[in-house]
Structure formats: C-alpha cells, structure tokens
Structure 1
Amino acid sequence: MTAENLPKAGYKLAKIAVGGVILLGLAATTMVYAQAKPLHVADKVELDKYLGVWYEIARKPMSFQNQCDSNVTATYTFNENGNVLVDNRCTMKDGQQSHAIGEAFVQNAPFNTKLKVSFLPEAIRWLPAGRGDYWILKIDENYQTVLVGEPSRKYMWVLSRDPHPDPRVVNEYLDYAKSVGYDLKNLIRTKHTVK
C-alpha cells in the first residue's frame, strides 16, 4: 500500500466501523423495543383442560433448574383452595430425582392466562412475596402444546403432553417465542428417557 492510498484505506475502514456501529445500534434498539412491547398472552385457558402432566421440551436457563438434566415434568392439579398445585420433577445430573411442590394463583380470571407461582413452604405460601410470573402465551386448542413465559422475557418453557412431540410443532412454538422478543441463543432442549 502506498502512502497516497492510506487516506482512502482509512476512510474505508471508518465507513466499515460506522456501519458496524449503526448495525449494532439497530440490533440493540430492536431488542429493547421488542422487550418494551407488552407480552401478549393466549386469549383464554380452561384450567380443567390444562391440568395433568406436561413434559418440558425446551427452556431458557434458570438457576433453580440448573441441576435438572432430563425427564423434566410439571403436573398440575386443583388443591383444596381452588388454586393450582404445581408438582415439578426432574432427573438431576447425578441421577437423583428432584421434586418441588408449589402453588399457582390465577391473576386474571376468568381468562386464566396469567398466574403467579410460589414454591415457598406451604404454611407461608399465601404471602404475595416470592411469587414468579407464569404466563400462558400460546396454546393449541387441544391442550397438547403450550408456550409459557413471563413479561421480562428472561424465562420461557415449551411444554407438551408428549415427551417426544413433533419437531415441527416445537419449532412453531419457538418461532413464536422469537417473534415476541425472546432470545433463544441459550435455549436448552430437554432430554426424556421415557417412551
């Protein structure tokens, strides 16, 4: 490169750098905008149809599930208070079984799409502290596949009645999650050893 070409080369590098900064700015703005937009939930959920066993198919990482390696399930039943009893189970990395019992409280009856879940000890579960959002974002009419999340888009689950659902259906739900602002780069796909 000759001395007279240096200004041209510097100008080209500056253009590339400015272009990169603009692209990064646009990407960041898009993510902020996506997450600032309200997160829409499903129109309505009939809780009696929602009850039963769901298999976790995919999730965003979260600290309280770090040790779960496979066979993650959530079983929902009504309790004596009319709330939803949550029974979460998984096989941990060391092969041991993990089991956590919680309670879900509907926040937007009669639509039943926004719940708060507490895993505090039963005697103090009535306290509103320590409750996490559990929003039903997308569910099929036969209650076979569901996308669950929360408004900050930090946590997300795809659940199915089948431990080995059709990959096309799973991808449809993951695509929907992306379309409403979820970043799926760190998605965990859950393994199931049951047939």
Structure 2
Amino acid sequence: MTLLATLIPACASKQVANIQTVPHVDLPKFMGDWYVIAAIPTAIETESYNAIENYSLKDDGTIATTFTFNKGSLNGPKKRYEPHGFVVKNSGNATWGMQFIWPIKAEYLIAYLDENYTQTVIARNARDYVWIMARSPKISEDDYKKLTTLVKSLGYDTSKLRDVPHHQ
C-alpha cells in the first residue's frame, strides 16, 4: 500500500493556471498584418520563413485569417492557409477560437498586446504553441528579450522557441 500511495501523486499531472489574456482588444485596430518573429510552431510551421498572419474583420464578427510563409527557406515555395477566427463572447475580444478544420476550434489567447498594437504574444493554455508577432519583420533585441521572458513567465519552455527569418 505504501508503494501505491507513493506512485499515485507522482503520476498526477501538474496543474498550471490558465493564461491571463489582455483585458480588451480593439478588434479593428488589431486587424492587418502581423509578422511571426518567433514561435513554438505547429507542425505546418516548423520550416516557415517570412511568416505573416493577416486578420480581417468580417461583417458577421468573425475574423478572416490568412497565414502565408515560404517553406524551407526565404525563397522556398509559398504556403497559404486560411483559418477562420471566432471571438469568444465576454472575453474582451482577447480569446478566440481559430478553426482550420470544421468543427475543431483551436484556442487562441491574446496574452500580451502593447498599447500601440505593434507587438503581441498569442498563447494557449496547453502551453504547446506560442507566437511572438509584430507589425514589422524585425524587433529590437530588448523587445525580443522582454517578450521571450514573458513567454517563459507564462509557463512555456523557451528552448523550443524558433526564430522565424524574414526578408529584410
């Protein structure tokens, strides 16, 4: 019985607090191009270069999304995905569902957004994927360090972050 009592707590999963989103997102201001600066990438992004996420607010309140990148190199073949974003009600517009395949909506949390809407961090409670994005393809080293430190404070393993190269 003592062995069983020792093993049960060791097998229990560690509870991690949910990621806090920003209090409010002005959706029209958030729309447009966002360059992916760094990410813990999904399977489709592991070899992305020149990655840009574009958001456009539709009349029905959903968000048309276009994700483009070059695969394998700065001049590699162009890839394009068009998932749809759905803002979760009463979330201050900071929690979305992102749908690549019906009916599955992936969690999309705006965990950080600077006051000028020039830099953002998109996270997930699962801590499996994260994106550091900016309105320009390059940010300062100080900003990069600040944002990666924030990502670490959210509970991510920052050794998994991949810098996403862009044409300059």
Instruction: Give runs of aligned pairs for residues 145-164 of structure 1, distance below 5 A.
Output: 145-164=119-138
Identity score, percent: 22
Unaligned runs of 5+ in 2: 1-9
Matches within 5 A, 1:51-66: 51-66=31-46
Greater strand content: 2
Asked if residue 130 in structure 1 is aligned to residue 82 in structure 2, the reply is no
The CA distance in 2 between the partners of 1:38 and 1:66, in whole Å, is: 26
TM-score w.r.t. length of structure 1: 0.75
Cα shift readout 1:28-79 (whole Å, capped 9, x = no counterpart): x9x935xx112111111100110000000000032121342x1000010012
Partner deviation per Cα, 1:72-110 (whole Å, 9 max, x = no partner): 000100124221110000001161000011110001346
- The structural deviation recorded for 1:165 is 1.1
Name the structure with the higher helix share. Answer: 1
Which one of the candidate residues 2, 5, 14 is aligned to 1:32? Answer: 14
| Partner amino acid, structure 2, of 1:130 | I
- Paired letter, 1:45: V
Q: Which residue of 2 aligns with 1:92?
A: 71
How far apart, in 2, do the equivalents of 1:110 and 1:191 lie?
32
Aligned AA (1:32): K
TM-score by length of 2: 0.86
Query: Number of aligned pairs?
Result: 156
Bigger radius of gyration: 1
Q: In structure 2, give the amino acid aligned to 1:87.
A: T
- CA RMSD of the aligned region, Å? 1.9
Which residue number in structure 2 is paired with residue 172 of structure 1? 146
The 5-angstrom pairing of residues 71-90 of structure 1 reads 71-90=50-69
Q: For residue 179 of structure 1, what is the amino acid of its counterpart?
A: S
Q: Does 1:119 align with 2:100?
A: yes
Q: In structure 1, what is the Cα distance between the partners aligned to 2:89 and 2:105?
A: 15
